Amino acid sequence: MRYLKLALKNTAREKKRSFLLAGAIAFGLSVILLVSALGDGLLDSFLNQQAGMISGHIVMRGFSLNERDRMVSRIDKNDSAAALGREFFTDLERINFRTTAQGTLINGSEAMQQMIIGIDPREETAMEKLLIMESGRYLTEEDEQGVLVSADLAEQLMINPGDRILLKTRTQQGMQNVTEVEVTGIISGDLGMMSDLAVFAQRTYLNTLLNIPEESSTEVHFFLTDPEGSEQRATDFWTFLQGRGVPLVDRPEDRSERQEIVAHLSQQEWEGTRYYLSSLEEDIPFVFVMSSFLNGTAMIVMIILLGIILVGVGNTLRMVIYERRKEIGTLRALGMKRSPLLFTLLTEMLLITLLGALAGIGIAQVAGAAIRSITFDGGHSFLDLFLYRNHMSLLFAPSRILSTVLTITVLVGIASYLPARKAAKLDPAKAIHSIA
Amino acid sequence: MKKNLINIAVLLISGLTWLNAQSPDPQEILAAVDRNLNFETDFSCRFTMVTYRAGETPETQEMTLFSRPESVGGEEKFLAIVIKPDVDKGTGYLMQGENFWIYDPESRRFSHSTARDSVQDSDVNNDDLGTANFVEDYRIMGMTEGMLGKIDCWILDLEAKTESVDYNRIKVWVGKQELIPYKEEDYSLTGTLMRTVLAPKWSLIEGKYIYRQVFFKDELREGNRTVLVFDQVSLNSLPNHLFTKAYLEESSR
């Protein structure tokens, strides 16, 4: 306790120097935390909010061959393999049966190709909470031919809620089909990049267009409460299903190989249904690539800043020791042992580091809050990637803050150790004599 | 009385014969159309495709097409390469039976596709370049007579036997004289008219009718249409290596 007080007193004694060193640490840490928060925020907003619109964290498709040996995808509600998902995923939030197809929406001479996602609005209450309607409303059971389109698409096709437009697609066997649909609602672009990617329709109605039974679907989407590591979890589920004797499409580690396998599946012959599992990382990889890029950037920034901090800490301590040689010599002459002296010097540096870290966390939080409060106009640019409801998504994960502070503290300790030990080893007589 | 009966019988028989001559079996007409359109030999040509899109400048593309019927190659094959404009030059389409690939010369990669996609975003489906199989794919729902301009036609109303064809219902105007289709209306599964195809110009080469000019009109999108013009037609046999990915890669360089 006595030595801790001494360290504290020493820190306060050299206010300017301590402030500068702590300030450098605070600045470095806040930059690292902000860049990481941007990457983590992007991934978090994507996994927990935006992805829900387009895809589950794990998606199961069931491929079978029709009487003409053409491959079709279909999974019924009582599918036994899909039911095994309830058994396997202990953190299952919900399961949604969806039908997806490529389609073209046509209004006069204007046309746009889009992914059409058939949902059951009674089941997808989470989707209702997630979507922000710019105009019109969410789908209800009554809107048999209703569709929800993005604000961007509505602008391009020049349509408003209540308008009737054409939806062209193909049946699952490949026959051309077209029908009239009614625009029920327009989804706000404020939801971020995912809001532009699909058109939502009633699953039963889309099924009739695809000429498959009304109650069936083409995909099962598993939403998990802990969606991180969806790729590994899909692999684990695949292994689990394999153990249960479920016929599966191979799942090699290389994702491009998987696509090749699916592309050539129609050339193979088999009976019954073969299940294909994909993860969010596989289906929408660019978000994960961007998040990794940001975290990688944060890591590089951290390495550079840590280097600067370490050199600064080492030099500061050397300077402190040089200036306090007489004092150190006197303390040693008065009987202070080496280890308490070492402890005092190290504690002094660690105190400055912790003060800097606390300030850094504070700066990052304030800056984060300021960035979050800015309302951006979704201009469909690269920035959209980071926006959710027109605001930047930043996530300060406590584990990341703790690990970064811990890393800095340990490294400062290492950088301080050698000069502190050298000071502790000083001969008291020589130390006093050198100053004299 | 006996004489009268004989007269009535003669009249009946000749009447039936006349009726038969006037209304031939629709199935036979359809089979004749298939025979007239499909070759028992290799086929090659160059075609120009002009795509009109509402509010846009028309796009013109030139392609070389090689095809081989199932009877020659064991499976139906065709290969088409874009030769103009320069920006699309080398883009290729290769069909070998059920497999269909698109070659992108820029990335030098093949992507597996379906024969149902459209050719270079036009109103022409890849399937349109292949063999006609009306008899196998469609059942006749009715036949009437009508004029298409000055051409006297049988109008066949056909319904798909299988979902693996592009259109559920088609109406074909078949010229009574040559038994070739001059007009086709394509309907979706929901019964909506999706596309009208007109083939006013034909050539007769070695006893086979070959399109010279075909118009495709998108009935869903106002102002969208595509015109195909065929020339340099040949029925000479083609080397086997033409219908390979390697040839497509090589010729795109």
The domain that holds B230 is classified in CATH as: 2.50.20.10
Contact assignment for A177 to B55 by CB distance below 8 Å: no
When divided into structural domains, chain A yields a total of 2
ipTM entry: 0.78
B150 touches A: beta carbon within 8 Å: no
A176, A210, A260: best to mutate for the B interface, most B CBs within 10 A:
A176
Task: Please tell me whether residues A80 and A101 are part of one structural domain.
Answer: yes
Alpha helical stretches, state H, A46-150? 51-54, 80-88, 125-130
The answer to whether the beta carbons of residues A29 and A408 sit under 8 Å apart is: yes
Tell me, what amino acid is at A282?
E
Task: Please tell me whether residues A298 and A418 are part of one structural domain.
Answer: yes
Percent of residues, chain B, with pLDDT higher than 70: 86
Span A131-142, average pLDDT: 87
Asked if residue B14 belongs to a domain, the reply is no
pLDDT at A136: 92
Q: What angle do CA A363, A365, A368 make, to 5 degrees?
A: 105
C-alpha distances in Å from residue A230, one per residue of A177, A259, A348, B101: 35, 18, 45, 32
pLDDT at B225: 92
In B91-120, the residues whose Cβ lies within 8 Å of chain A are 98-99, 112, 114, 116
Asked if residue B75 belongs to a domain, the reply is yes
Exposure b/e, B135-162, CB count within 10 A at least 16 = b? bebbebeebeeeeeeebebbbbbbebee
pLDDT category at A191 given cuts 50, 70, 90 is: low
pLDDT at A97: 93
Task: Please tell me whether residues A32 and A152 are part of one structural domain.
Answer: no
pLDDT at B113: 67
B160 touches A: beta carbon within 8 Å: yes
Return the bridge partners of A341, or none.
none
Encoded tokens for B177: 């004289």
- Most confident stretch, A74-78, A142-146, A346-350: A142-146
Asked if residue B121 belongs to a domain, the reply is yes
pLDDT digits (tens, 9 = 90+) for B117-162: 677 677 787 677 666 789 989 999 999 999 999 999 999 999 999 8
Contact assignment for A108 to B160 by CB distance below 8 Å: no
Task: Please tell me whether residues A332 and A378 are part of one structural domain.
Answer: yes
Which H helix or E strand runs over A345? Answer: helix A338-373
B192 touches A: beta carbon within 8 Å: yes
| Structural domain boundaries enclosing A401 | 2-49+286-435
pLDDT at B18: 44
Contact assignment for A109 to B54 by CB distance below 8 Å: yes
pLDDT digits (tens, 9 = 90+) for A6-26: 777 777 777 787 888 888 888
The answer to whether the beta carbons of residues A248 and A238 sit under 8 Å apart is: yes
pLDDT category at B8 given cuts 50, 70, 90 is: low
Distance from CA of B189 to the nearest CA of A (A): 5
- Most confident stretch, A64-73, A343-352, B142-151, B238-247: B142-151
Residue B126: name the closest of B161, B90, B163, B101 by CA: B101
Task: Please tell me whether residues A45 and A73 are part of one structural domain.
Answer: no
pLDDT digits (tens, 9 = 90+) for A285-342: 777 777 778 778 878 887 887 888 778 878 877 887 777 777 777 877 777 777 887 8
Task: Please tell me whether residues A304 and A428 are part of one structural domain.
Answer: yes
For chain B, the first-to-last Cα distance in angstroms comes to: 86
Asked if residue B24 belongs to a domain, the reply is no
Residue B163 with chain A: CB contacts under 8 Å: 171, 173-175, 211
Percent of residues, chain A, with pLDDT higher than 90: 26
Task: Please tell me whether residues A314 and A380 are part of one structural domain.
Answer: yes
Instruction: Flag whether pLDDT at B16 surpasses 50.
Output: no
- Residues B220, A56: Cα–Cα separation, whole Å: 34
Least confident segment among A1-10, A103-112, A168-177, B73-82: A1-10
Task: Please tell me whether residues A41 and A65 are part of one structural domain.
Answer: no
Distance from CA of B217 to the nearest CA of A (A): 13
Asked if residue B145 belongs to a domain, the reply is yes
Asked if residue A250 belongs to a domain, the reply is no
Least confident segment among A193-202, A242-251, B138-147, B168-177: A193-202
When divided into structural domains, chain B yields a total of 1
pLDDT category at A74 given cuts 50, 70, 90 is: confident
- Compute how many other C-beta atoms are within 10 angstroms of the C-beta atom of residue B7: 10
- Residues A87, A90: Cα–Cα separation, whole Å: 7
- Residues B202, B183: Cα–Cα separation, whole Å: 12
Task: Please tell me whether residues A293 and A234 are part of one structural domain.
Answer: no
Say how many CB pairs under 8 Å bridge A and B.
65
Instruction: Flag whether pLDDT at A388 surpasses 60.
Output: yes
| Structural domain boundaries enclosing B142 | 39-251
pLDDT at B15: 45
pLDDT at B215: 95
Asked if residue B190 belongs to a domain, the reply is yes
CA atoms within 13 A on the CB side of A31: 15
Give the residue, B17 or B188, on which the prediction is more confident: B188
Asked if residue B8 belongs to a domain, the reply is no
Instruction: Flag whether pLDDT at A436 surpasses 70.
Output: no
Angle formed by the axes of helices A428-435 and A325-333, to 10°?
A: 140
Asked if residue B29 belongs to a domain, the reply is no
Contact assignment for B189 to A267 by CB distance below 8 Å: no
Task: Please tell me whether residues A72 and A123 are part of one structural domain.
Answer: yes
Instruction: Flag whether pLDDT at B9 surpasses 60.
Output: no
Task: Please tell me whether residues A15 and A100 are part of one structural domain.
Answer: no
Span A265-291, average pLDDT: 81
pLDDT at B116: 59
- Residues A106, B36: Cα–Cα separation, whole Å: 36
Asked if residue A379 belongs to a domain, the reply is yes
Residue B74, phi-psi category: left (phi > 0), alpha (psi -120 to 50), beta (remainder): left
Provide the mean pLDDT of chain A: 84
pLDDT at B156: 95
Task: Please tell me whether residues A178 and A237 are part of one structural domain.
Answer: yes
Q: What letter does residue B223 receive in the DSSP assignment?
A: T
Provide the mean pLDDT of chain B: 84
Tell me, what amino acid is at B191?
G
Token pair 């920035």: residue: A383
pLDDT at A50: 66
B141 touches A: beta carbon within 8 Å: no
Residue B121 with chain A: CB contacts under 8 Å: none
pLDDT category at A383 given cuts 50, 70, 90 is: low
Residue finishing a domain among A259, A283, A307: A283
pLDDT digits (tens, 9 = 90+) for B25-52: 999 999 999 888 887 888 899 989 999 9
Give the residue, B102 or A8, on which the prediction is more confident: B102
